[in-house]
Amino acid sequence: MLTSFLQFFVIILAIVLVVSTVINPKSSSSKSPLTLSKKQLLTNREQQMFSVLSSALPECVVLAQVSFSALVTAEGWQSRNRFNRKVADFVLCSKQMNVIAVIELDDRSHIGRELLDRERDAMLKQAGYTTIRYHSIPPTEIIRRDIENLLMAEYNARRA
């Protein structure tokens, strides 16, 4: 009786191992080849915005697709998980690489996601950054005016 039970247990265990290997191929020793392809770094719209930002502010460095992890840090993995896969469209820096502002170019995909955008902006603000959002690509004069106003407000705040 004990031998029959042991044989039955071994057979069930073997079936479970075979089925788990078939269902979860990651656990098997052979890996399927990784298929990667090149991707455009910026969309056409983002390329246009990059060009306008660079033209409007030649005295600044414009960085594109900057990970929040490059901008902010926090203690503990739970806090870091809140921002570790987020990316800023553009980061505007001085020539000394001090961040002036985070620039977001919103499109139709942001409709209905305003709360998420506000949460992202609040996260960056808590870390000491200002976010400027544009819904369309503004003329260079508007960008320049917005950055000059931001810098003037920061200057006045430090003097007060």
What pLDDT, on a 0 to 100 scale, did the predictor assign at position 85? 77
- pLDDT for 82: 64
| 40-76 pLDDT, tens digit each | 999 999 999 999 999 999 999 999 999 988 898 777 7
Per 3-state DSSP, the chain is made up of helix, strand and coil in percentages (nearest 5) of 50, 15, 35
List of residues 6+ apart from 106 with CB closer than 8 A: 117, 133, 134, 135
Contact 50, 42 (CB under 8 A): yes
Contact indicator for 106, 135 with CB cutoff of 8 Å: yes
Angle between helices 140-159 and 44-56 (to 10 degrees): 60
- Decide: pTM greater than 0.75: no
Higher pLDDT, 106 or 95: 95
Structure tokens at 9: 């247990």
Identity at 96, one-letter amino acid code = Q
Structure tokens belonging to residue 27: 């656990």
pLDDT attached to residue 83: 59
pLDDT at 32: 86
